[in-house]
Structure 1
Amino acid sequence: MHLDLRQTLKNAPWTLIVSLAIMAGFVVMGARMPEQLAEGAGRVLEFTTSHFGWLYLFATTGFLIFCVGVGFSVYGRIRLGADGEAPEFPYPTWLGMIFSAGMGVGLVFWGVAEPMSHYVASPLGMAEPRSAEAAELGMQYSFFHWGFHQWANFGVVGLAIAYARFRLGRPGLISETFRASLGDRVDGPAGYAINTLAVLSTVFGVATTLGLGIIQINSGLGTVAGVGFGLDNQLAILAGIAVIFLLASLTPLEAGIRWISDANMLLAGLVLVFVFFAGPTDFITAVLTNALGDYFANLIGMSLVMEPYTGEDWVERWTIFYWAWGLAWAPFVGSFIARISRGRTVREFVLGVIGVPVLLSMVWFATFGGSALYFELFENAGLADAVSTEMSSALFRMLELLPAAGVLGIAVLVLIVLFVITSANSATFVLGMFTSNGRLNPGRPTRLTWGVVTVLVTGVLLVSGGLGALQTISIIAAFPFMVLMIFMATSLLRAFRDEQRQQELHEALLRERLQRLLEEHDAQRRDQGANGDDGDPEVPGAASDGRN
């Protein structure tokens, strides 16, 4: 183990060295000066959202337009692999893995918390708080924040990596997606810088998810076992979770991640079906139908809305946070989706990534958020007050209103723990790949190192301000990678265009060659006719010899 670690460090690429140095500095500063870190991050956040908040909205909307555009254009026929290569996974299995990669703790945490938060304080002040109109807007914006825009972030990165890896035969690195624009410069400092930004973005994105999961596990333990809610308990929970997923990171990928992922998807499906039928089923289906209509009817307006006339910060606290979180999560989720998408066409990829998972996410929000709104509107359950006091408690307070609440609460708590472990374990694998020159199976020391770093960053963020610090650092860390993604999409479009031109040139040369052969054949027939030959080749056995 020690020899492996020394060899790893000796042969470490610049991406690993620089990334670890930056994260070490962040952890030391956060541990020694948490208040100063929080204050400094707040100033950077204010500067970023004040001057570049519009860019988050335009960029994320642009990524959605890009995915739909290339998917339904002539480029949609391009295969992410060799021509004629069959997909690696069956379609249902592929879709299930995509959904599990992008779902995780986020939907479990926000499934009740977001609709109820918007019910308490209406989005953009467009409705009276705690009214039916506020409830409707809450579901509309929940669908928006977990809809096509979020998955388009994953789609751009995943499509670019899958094309570079399986179509062009390049390593699975973020820098390789820029080769069409930068050429061999991606093999030098420019490539190191791109991959380092991807690593930093992924670490903070995963740390945000871990932090949200730890906070909600703390709330769940308070409901199930009477554990107090606070920083000390959250750090203890983080330590316990860390031991489990760090041990899992030392096992082979199939033995560590796969069975945990299968278990949490099965449990998530069972919990979803139970809540759908045990809860207000008719209300849930009506909410789903209504919110889908509101979402599609207001998609453009919600995509580009800001608050210049009021000076409020609702867009920054919600929409921009979500887009930044998705952008920070994109290198990890995109890399995973790319790895399982070999053999798919670009069109299949787009439909699979920003189509089916979005519909499943909407069913989740309609089921959990819709149930919470029903109990609050018609049974005065007090969930709005619970959300105002402690946002992470919303889910477990709602579950107490359903049959078999005790068993259901334990099941959901286990589900959150499994999702946290899966996300952290998978992220250490991807981070190891990014910092090992794209190796499909990075070494255990590298994966273990990134697991420890991720845990330390999560702990620093919890100490520095909990949920607020998690949201702040996500928005800040995502900004440079968002700029990279803009150039990534441009480079990918250029690569598609170059391949299409080569294909068209190849087809033109074939047509020219065929035309030349036809002309030579016609000339030969004319020469044969001039010599008294009818030009028809003699067919053996065609002349009758009287025996027929």
Structure 2
Amino acid sequence: MTMLDNHEPEPEPAPGSEADSEPDPAAITTDTQLAAAPDADSARHNPVGAVFFWSVAFVIAFVIWATVSPDSLGDIMTTAMTAVSSSFGWIYLVVPFAAIVMLVWSAASRFGRIRLGSADSRPEFTTMSWLAMILAAVMGIGLVSYGVAEPMSHFMVPPHGLAQPETMDAAVRAMQFSYLDWGFQAWAIFGVFGLAIGYSTHRKGRPALVSTMLRPVLGRLVDGWVGKVIDILTIIATLFGTTTSLGLGASQIGEGLNAVFGIDTTIMLQIVVVGVLTLLFTGSAFTGVSRGIRYISQITLTMATLLGLFVFITGPSGFVANLFVRSVGSFAGDFLKLSFMTPSSASDSEWMLGWTYFMMAWWLSWSAFVGIFLAKISKGRTIRQFVAGVLLVPSAVFFVWFTIMGGSAMKLDMDGATIGEATASNLDTAFFSLLNELPLSLLTSVFTIIMVILFFVSSADSNTFVLSSLSSRGSFNPSRPVIATWGFLTGACAIVLLFVGGLQALQQAAMLSAVPFTIIVIILGIALIRELRNDHQVIEEVARERRALGL
């Protein structure tokens, strides 16, 4: 991938194209005035307030509780998680699907021509730089953590008993459910948030807060304690979503060090890794989006592309190609069925809790972070461009990656490798077990460790930036002390949760924090629809069409 200049202009649309169509001058004036973004000194004009202090106080209290009485915290989280999954698990399926419908509708309708900004604004980043940041800064760590582990797990134990284990049918089912967990549903959740926040900040000139976007539904309530509670819940959900990713990154790095240097993977090693990563991503967050985050994203995406090509070429490429075509076709045919498949037994419920429910809850807990980050980098793009870039492109990339990595692992396991056994004993070893079956395993393992570190830094520094923005009254220029505070607290939460119950505790925290946030996502979608229908550009276009028809 070429390092593209940060402010390289996008090609101008051809005359007469829909992107070139201009709304009524009155509408342009109104939109331009509304889209005035916070100035460069917004950090000074938007100092931290009650949201910052209450959020920090909650996180510190949580850390103290986990340190003083980890057993009681672990028991309460486990009990709460069981109750939530058995009573409200279905909502984790309905909300993501509704998000897909909403995004497709907004892109296909007349609203698709609306820009996230004034009518004459253009994207700040080139398309390639923009897509690189979306892919690497959002879910890059998952490419390694689950790229082999999830397909292999489903291959060994097919979901819902839909196939015989370790067969070709099981391989196809494994890819179907991997696509479900990492494809359209996940990116639709992110897309709704990103579209809502981008529209609110760039077109309406509001601060980058979830509460302000809910005004069309909640009215003046967002100006009081209700709005503050919403913003605090957003921060907490975002923080726990990131600590889960931090735990995954530490586990992968620990397993990589074990594979390369024979270092035992212990809790203490993971804590050391978390501490080092915290320093790295906090330092990167100081540089902002246009420098550190952008360049690291491009580097990691290039590294992932090279690794994916290496595995495809040196692995069972014919099997992988056939599996991809067959799996995508079966996924498309079964999409509605898979999207609404709920558990039918106790074992099914346990499986859903560990995979689909957890994944959807994880994406919900990440949605504010990803949404604000997407809004930050998407100014000037039309809604249609935004939906295509956020919903379609990343899903396609993840489909290809999971098929290459998971498909290669499944085929090698069929031929006698022990990747399945390694995955069953420890999910974190799955990726390195695959590399061990291919040429240059030592070199590719070191390459992967470096990639995981950079993936996590690109993701966590974006998250630290967003946490700082949320707690600085929506400023896109948070102060360095605020950034340092959230970087430290993110690392501290990950460490105490690893002590409480390892990765399971991290996952439970993310799922529980997503419960109240699910309601916020629903209200946000309703608010965005109302905002779009009242947009001056759309109103003027409808009026012109009616005049042209003589109505």
Structures share fold, TM-score greater than 0.5: yes
**SS of aligned partner of 1:436:** coil
8 Å CA contact 1:76–1:347 kept in 2: the answer is yes
Does residue 88 (structure 1) correspond to residue 124 (structure 2)? The answer is yes
- When structure 1 is superposed on structure 2, of 296-305 and 470-479 the one drifting more is 470-479
- Supply the distance in 1 between the matched residues of 2:485 and 2:543 (Cα, whole angstroms): 50
8 Å CA contact 2:136–2:297 kept in 1: the answer is yes
The gaps in structure 1 that reach 5 residues or longer are 1-6, 516-548
Tell me the amino acid that sits aligned with residue 315 of structure 2. G
Deviation by residue 1:343-369 (Cα, 9 ceiling, x = unmatched): 222122111111011001111101111
Q: Find 1:333's aligned residue among 367, 370, 389.
A: 370
Aligned to 1:314: 351
Aligned to 1:414: 450
Tell me the amino acid that sits aligned with residue 217 of structure 1. I
- Supply the distance in 1 between the matched residues of 2:541 and 2:451 (Cα, whole angstroms): 53
Q: Find 1:349's aligned residue among 355, 365, 386.
A: 386
Tell me the amino acid that sits aligned with residue 372 of structure 2. S
Over the aligned positions, Cα root-mean-square deviation in angstroms equals 2.2
Aligned to 1:238: 274
- Supply the distance in 2 between the matched residues of 1:66 and 1:80 (Cα, whole angstroms): 17
**SS of aligned partner of 2:148:** helix
Aligned to 2:485: 449
TM-score for the superposition, normalised by structure 1: 0.88
Aligned to 1:381: 417
Aligned to 1:183: 219
Q: Find 1:479's aligned residue among 515, 523, 527.
A: 515
* Shift of residue 253, structure 1, vs aligned partner: 4.7
8 Å CA contact 2:163–2:169 kept in 1: the answer is yes
Aligned to 2:11: none
Deviation by residue 1:16-47 (Cα, 9 ceiling, x = unmatched): 01111111111111111222111110111011
Does residue 394 (structure 1) correspond to residue 426 (structure 2)? The answer is no
8 Å CA contact 1:161–1:176 kept in 2: the answer is no
Aligned to 2:31: none
Tell me the amino acid that sits aligned with residue 387 of structure 2. V
Aligned to 1:112: 148
**Distance of aligned partners of 1:300 and 1:502 in 2 relative to their CA distance in 1, 3 Å threshold:** closer
8 Å CA contact 2:96–2:360 kept in 1: the answer is yes
Does residue 166 (structure 1) correspond to residue 229 (structure 2)? The answer is no
* Shift of residue 50, structure 1, vs aligned partner: 1.1
Q: Find 1:134's aligned residue among 170, 185, 193.
A: 170
The gaps in structure 2 that reach 5 residues or longer are 1-42
Q: Give the ranges of 4+ consecutive aligned residues of structure 1 lying more than 6 Å apart after TM superposition.
A: none
* Shift of residue 92, structure 1, vs aligned partner: 2.9
* Shift of residue 82, structure 1, vs aligned partner: 1.3
Tell me the amino acid that sits aligned with residue 377 of structure 1. M
Aligned to 1:258: 294
% same residue: 37
Aligned to 2:4: none
Does residue 438 (structure 1) correspond to residue 474 (structure 2)? The answer is yes
Q: Find 2:139's aligned residue among 98, 103, 110.
A: 103
Q: How many residues align?
A: 506
**SS of aligned partner of 1:355:** helix
Counterpart mapping for 1:37-56 below 5 A: 37-56=73-92
Deviation by residue 1:446-479 (Cα, 9 ceiling, x = unmatched): 0000001100111122112122212212211111
8 Å CA contact 2:51–2:231 kept in 1: the answer is yes
Counterpart mapping for 1:258-297 below 5 A: 258-297=294-333
- Supply the distance in 2 between the matched residues of 1:305 and 1:252 (Cα, whole angstroms): 41
Aligned to 2:20: none
Does residue 361 (structure 1) correspond to residue 398 (structure 2)? The answer is yes
**Distance of aligned partners of 1:309 and 1:404 in 2 relative to their CA distance in 1, 3 Å threshold:** closer
* Shift of residue 311, structure 1, vs aligned partner: 5.6
- Supply the distance in 2 between the matched residues of 1:158 and 1:125 (Cα, whole angstroms): 36
TM-score for the superposition, normalised by structure 2: 0.88
- Supply the distance in 1 between the matched residues of 2:159 and 2:195 (Cα, whole angstroms): 33
* Shift of residue 252, structure 1, vs aligned partner: 4.9
Deviation by residue 1:138-164 (Cα, 9 ceiling, x = unmatched): 111111111100100100100000100
Q: Find 1:372's aligned residue among 389, 409, 412.
A: 409
- Supply the distance in 1 between the matched residues of 2:309 and 2:356 (Cα, whole angstroms): 29
